[in-house]
Structure 1
Amino acid sequence: MSVNSDMGKAHEKHLALTLGMRQARGSGNQWRDPIDARHNRLDTEYAFAVDGKSTLAKSISITRAMWDKAAEQAGGERPMLALRFYGDASLTRVHADLAVCDLDDFAELLEAARMWEQAKPVIEQIIEHRPRCMPVLVDSLRRLQEADTA
């Protein structure tokens, strides 16, 4: 196998494992299973389909055509380009792993993360107080709502 093939395969495997995705057969070259890895939009609101690009070089160019192809192949999931810069030809060192996604998709993820940060203490109180927690729950939700409108 060539270094380029090995780079791509290692990157695609890492993407699927790290992001909890299903890796496509044949590196996404099948007509019925394009793109390298994907979530299932029926399982999560934040389902992505990712096309990986890796290199030993100092740069990777991203073109409109590359983005358009990823968006088309995403087939309903949110498109993402994953860029990996390997640190050496042994492919044991990764200099950088980057993700490129639509700004609106990123903003939605960020908002969901912020909402979770606010909800987490309420959930922890519910767990701590068990079923007798209704007054605590109502009070916590009220404070959460007030903080959200402030």
Structure 2
Amino acid sequence: MSRTLNQAMGDAHEKHIAETLGMRLTRGSGNQWRDQMDAKHDRTSTQYAFAVDGKSTLAKSISISRDMWAKAVEQAGGERPMLGLRFYDTGALKVHADLAACDLLDFAELLQAARLWEQAKPVLEALADRDPRCVPVIVDLARRVLEAEVEA
């Protein structure tokens, strides 16, 4: 059975999403009622767990509707919803652009966490270089700080 161009584009896109974001591909491209969306993180292992529905095209545009977003929110099943958008240049699967659409508040939370890490990293590295025995203490302190930040 030969695959269509649309199937090949979708499969390549879904695989790329999963590999790039460290996710698992869902069975049947999310067509199982208990495991929807195309790729997912595990919300029990990370605070920033996303579920992605991939959309790809050779056309000049991809439309995102309210219904499409509502479906992604519903099917995310506890993970943060995201739409992966891929534009192909040719039927040979040459990628023009890969984009991600997510809730602005989810993005803001990720950005805040990245900024906190950016500020803390040089201090933590200096402490670890000075006395490697303090690494477990630093890790525990960082965990508590991040948990307190999330609760705030």
Identify whether the pair has TM-score above 0.5, normalized to the shorter chain. yes
Q: Which residue of the partner structure matches residue 57 of structure 2?
A: 55
Identity across matched positions, percent: 71
Larger radius of gyration: 1
TM-score (norm 2): 0.85
Q: Distance in 1 between matches of 2:29 and 2:133?
A: 53
Cα distance, 1:74 vs structure 2: 0.3
Where 2:83 maps in the other structure, the secondary structure is: strand
Equivalent runs, 1:95-106 vs 2, <5 Å = 95-106=96-107
Residue 5 (str. 1) matches residue 31 (str. 2)? no
Give ranges in structure 1 of 5+ residues lacking alignment.
138-150
Q: Deviations over 1:24-56 (max 9, x none)?
A: 010101111110000011100000000000000
Q: Which residue of the partner structure matches residue 88 of structure 1?
A: 90
Q: Which residue of the partner structure matches residue 142 of structure 1?
A: none
Q: Distance in 2 between matches of 1:30 and 1:95?
A: 30
Q: Which residue of the partner structure matches residue 126 of structure 1?
A: 127
Q: Which residue identity is paired with 1:36?
A: D
Q: Which residue of the partner structure matches residue 141 of structure 1?
A: none
Q: Distance in 1 between matches of 2:89 and 2:111?
A: 30
Where 1:84 maps in the other structure, the secondary structure is: strand
Q: Deviations over 1:94-147 (max 9, x none)?
A: 1000000000000000000000000001111111101587xxx9xxxxxxxxxx
Q: Distance in 2 between matches of 1:120 and 1:131?
A: 15
Cα distance, 1:87 vs structure 2: 1.2
Q: Call closer, same or farther: CA 1:132–1:56 in 2, change over 3 Å.
A: closer
Q: Call closer, same or farther: CA 1:128–1:55 in 2, change over 3 Å.
A: same
RMSD: 1.3
Q: Distance in 1 between matches of 2:53 and 2:129?
A: 43
Q: Which residue identity is paired with 2:92?
A: S
Give ranges in structure 2 of 5+ residues lacking alignment.
139-152
* Count of matched residue pairs: 133
Where 1:52 maps in the other structure, the secondary structure is: strand
